[in-house]
């Protein structure tokens, strides 16, 4: 069988569309999204009167004239992985003064966007003999899980054992070891190991399985990220890299030696490594540039065949 794997689209609409269309493009049997589906922030587009709006993206302020330019900016912001929110100065002030209101707006935009994505996937994948599996990652709120389960063509596989074909099972989890950002789905290593063991221990044949685990294995070369200072700034001008992956992921891979490990989480960690007999791949992420990084992988009954890291 042949699979396409990608991860960490972080709200980028164009990357989601590329993922959904990757199946026919690469002529694969299964497409898998490994985690971190949702975006990180709302970007207000604030009415200024006289058919003009103001927006600030990455510290650059732009004045938009006319609804057509607003719509173009909305599309651009969505493709970069953020949530555009057309508003006015009064609502902007109210949201800024009330964290709970800010949280409500953010969650509404997350769920509205996710529904639009699922509708797109159901339309594009209807009638195709193609499986689409997704697994929310550490940055994804829990509210999206039930929404994904309403889809006709997109399957939420968090915490589950999936039979990919007659020769291969797959376990999946978007949970990670602790991060400096205290994200939604992270926990200490002992708890993480228990989570993974609950799935791996039920596998009929671990040696021919796939471990779709969002965090890369510790010190694998797939988990090197810029070192941060105590105040969350880049240490040494960002030139110092340290391993930040999961020791529990490493432990279960070494214990069960699956055919393939699929990972993400660390955007800079793109590449492949062998851990014992397991081929581990981190496809990395360039979602803000609208580029979908991925991998096309052939699975033979007892080995990984040809594979290639993709970019498009």
Number of neighbours of residue 304 by Cβ within 10 angstroms: 17
- Find out whether 35 and 136 touch, Cβ atoms under 8 Å: yes
The DSSP annotation for 221-289 comes to: SSSEEE-B-TTSPBGGGGT-EEE-SBHHHHHHHHHH--SEEEE-S-TT--EEEEETTEEEEE---BGGG
Tokens matching residue 101: 């209101």
Higher pLDDT, 235 or 38: 38
Question: What does residue 124 show for φ and ψ, rounded to 5 degrees?
Answer: -75, -30
In the structure, what pLDDT confidence band is assigned to residue 228 with cuts at 50, 70 and 90? confident
* pTM for the model: 0.96
Q: What is the reported pLDDT for 234?
A: 79
What does the mean pLDDT of the chain come to? 96
Listed residue (57, 116, 111) closest to 82, CA to CA: 57
Instruction: List, in order, residues 6 or more apart from 99 with CB less than 8 Å away.
Output: none
Q: What is the reported pLDDT for 237?
A: 62
- Find out whether 263 and 243 touch, Cβ atoms under 8 Å: no
- Find out whether 284 and 265 touch, Cβ atoms under 8 Å: no
CA distance 73 to 62: 10
Alpha carbon 270 to its chain's center: 14
Tokens matching residue 55: 């927006």
pLDDT in tens, 5-50: 999 999 999 999 999 999 999 999 999 999 999 999 999 999 999 9
- Find out whether 267 and 252 touch, Cβ atoms under 8 Å: no
Tokens matching residue 271: 């590449």
pLDDT in tens, 154-207: 999 999 999 999 999 999 999 999 999 999 999 999 999 999 999 999 999 999
In the structure, what pLDDT confidence band is assigned to residue 233 with cuts at 50, 70 and 90? confident
CA distance 162 to 157: 7
Tokens matching residue 129: 């003999």
Q: Residue 288: CA atoms inside 13 Å, Cβ hemisphere, count?
A: 5
pLDDT in tens, 63-115: 999 999 999 999 999 999 999 999 999 999 999 999 999 999 999 999 999 99
DSSP 217: B
Residues 20-32 as b or e (16 or more Cβ within 10 Å = b): bbbbeebebebbb
Q: Residue 193: CA atoms inside 13 Å, Cβ hemisphere, count?
A: 13
CA distance 84 to 94: 17
């Amino acid at each position: 069988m042949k699979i396409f794997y990608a991860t960490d689209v972080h709200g980028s609409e164009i990357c989601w569309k590329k993922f959904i269309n990757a199946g026919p493009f690469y002529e694969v049997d299964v497409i898998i999204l490994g985690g971190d589906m949702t975006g990180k922030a709302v970007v207000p587009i604030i009415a200024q009167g006289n058919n003009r709006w103001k927006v600030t993206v990455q510290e650059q302020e732009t004045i938009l004239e006319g609804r057509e330019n607003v719509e173009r900016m909305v599309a651009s912001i969505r493709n970069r992985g953020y949530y555009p929110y057309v508003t006015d100065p009064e609502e902007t002030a109210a949201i800024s003064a009330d964290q709970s209101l800010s949280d409500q707006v953010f969650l509404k935009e997350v769920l509205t966007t996710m529904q639009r994505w699922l509708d797109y996937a159901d339309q594009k994948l209807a009638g195709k003999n193609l499986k689409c599996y997704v697994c929310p990652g550490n940055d994804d709120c829990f509210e999206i899980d039930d929404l994904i389960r309403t889809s006709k063509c997109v399957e939420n596989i968090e915490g589950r054992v999936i039979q990919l074909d007659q020769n291969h099972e797959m376990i999946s989890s978007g949970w990670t070891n602790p991060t400096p950002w205290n994200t939604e789905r992270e926990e200490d290593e002992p708890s993480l190991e228990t989570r993974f063991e609950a799935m791996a221990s039920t596998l009929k044949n671990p040696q021919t399985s796939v471990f779709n685990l969002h965090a890369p294995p510790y010190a694998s070369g797939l988990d090197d990220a810029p070192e941060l200072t105590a105040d969350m700034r880049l240490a040494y001008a960002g030139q110092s890299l340290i391993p930040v992956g999961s020791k529990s992921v490493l432990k279960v891979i070494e214990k069960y030696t699956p055919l393939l490990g699929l990972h993400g989480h660390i955007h800079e960690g793109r590449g492949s490594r062998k851990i014992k007999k397991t081929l581990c791949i981190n496809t990395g992420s360039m979602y803000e540039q609208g580029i979908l990084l991925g991998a096309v992988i052939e699975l033979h009954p007892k080995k990984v065949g040809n594979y290639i890291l993709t970019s498009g």
